[in-house]
Amino acid sequence: MYAQLVETGVKRLKTEDEMSAQERDFQQRIDAEIKIEAKNWMPDAYRQTLIRQISQHAHSEIVGMLPEGNWVTRAPTLKRKLQLMAKIQDEAGHGLYLYSAMETLGADRDSEIAKLHSGKAKYSSIFNYPTLTWADVGAVGWLVDGAAIVNQVVLQRTSYGPYSRAMIRICKEESFHQRQGYEMLLTMMRHGTQVQKDMVQDAINRLWWPSLMMFGPSDEHSPNSAQSMAWKIKRQSNDELRQRFIDQTIPQLQVLGCSVPDPALQWNAERGHYDFGEIQWEEFYQVLKGNGPCNQERVATRRQAIEDGAWVRAAAVAHARKKHLKNVA
Ligand code: FAQ
């Protein structure tokens, strides 16, 4: 097992003998399902893993607003526009809860955001794909929020208290997003023109594989999973969650009357799961390296937003200072 872990780049876990007394106590708390809070002692690697994961998660929420934001001015009805604006606003809120959870670990929000803007920080690969038609907005809600929920429902039980509590609130809102996306696609499939139906199928064709990639590399190529599972930061593996998403989503796809671009997809009665084809991991790693269709555009848009908003932040600080001076006078 160890040889295999080293070979695939997966990090080796410390044995109990290699742990310090503090590390052993910490692991016992985790094993007893006691949440770790900001003021508790924690191994530095636990802290750094959480800062990495929570900051990437927060960046994903914020960058995730961009592909949908492109459609606010082009939503087909007032109802759809209001729904979309509310959803995008929710994503901003999720980013804020998550940055706050990250700050409880001693990380600095501005420095983490600066890493996003310099292209150093990761965010979910899915947001580096374009949203080409209105049907993509429905497909993002259904597939992308759907995949996000499968992952996040489990994270509600993550071992770090502030992250776990943020996830409870986020999950409630994400399930609304998933349903509104699905309802949008169902409306197009049931009442739309042939052109609209084709748009839905095309959106699913383009977003299906990137949605499966959201769960991360397969377990044997996931360097962080073994330690994150031992610390109960992650409660289920990347492959387990990906399989759950597929099993949950295919019956919904059948109700829509659509298909996925995977000839290998079929129900396996023996396993009690859907079998599916090989994910194009080369594409996934290229997107992570910054070579996806929209990586440069997304980061440039974020940078521009920060520059354009500088005067608002300066005004807010000046106002707060003036108020403070008045109060102390
Ligand atoms: N994209 O060893 P692992 C949303 C990186 S929220 C980019 O398996 P880990 C809401 C990974 O960070 C979507 N990078 O890593 C919404 C690691 O990099 P590093 C975001 C990825 O952390 C909807 C390396 O590969 N959700 O969509 C991806 O144990 C609609 C090795 O991977 C979360 O962030 C990827 N897909 O497991 C918003 C959930 N996958 O730092 C707007 C929280 C892996 O070692 C509109 N995060 N990487 O260089 C997690 O659960 C985990 O971090 C995983 C990855 C499962 C994503």
Q: Which residues contact 66 (CB under 8 A, 6 or more apart)?
A: 127, 298, 301, 302
Residues with CB under 6 A from ligand 1: 52-53, 56-57, 60-61, 64, 91, 122, 124-125, 140, 144-145, 148, 151, 213-217, 222-225, 228, 234, 238, 288
**How far apart are the C-alpha atoms of 217 and 225, rounded to whole Å?**
10
- Per DSSP, the residues of 124-171 read -GGGGS---SHHHHHHIIIIIHHHHHHHHHHHTT-SBHHHHHHHHHHH
SS3 content of the chain, % helix, strand, coil (to 5): 70, 0, 25
| Greatest distance between any 2 Cα atoms in the chain | 76
Ligand 1 centre to CA of 200 (Å) is 26
Task: Please give the number of the atom of ligand 1 that sits closest to the Cα of 53.
Answer: 53
Report how far ligand 1's centroid is from the alpha carbon of 56 (Å).
Answer: 7
Give start and end residues of each alpha helix (H) in 2-77.
2-7, 21-31, 44-63, 65-69
What pLDDT sits at residue 9?
A: 53
Q: What digits encode the pLDDT tens for the residues 183-241?
A: 999 999 999 999 999 999 999 999 999 999 999 999 999 999 999 999 999 999 999 99
**Exposure string for 123-151, b = 16+ CB within 10 A, e = fewer:** bbbbbbbebebbbbbbbbbbbbbbbbbbb
Residue having the nearest C-alpha atom to atom 43 of ligand 1 = 57
- Protein residue with least CA distance to atom 5, ligand 1: 216
- 8 and 220 Cβ atoms separated by less than 8 Å: yes
pTM equals 0.94
Q: What band does 10 get if pLDDT is binned at 50, 70 and 90?
A: low
pLDDT above 90 as % of the chain: 91
What pLDDT is stored for residue 328 in this prediction? 85
pLDDT tens figures, 275-320: 999 999 999 999 999 999 999 999 999 999 999 999 999 999 999 9
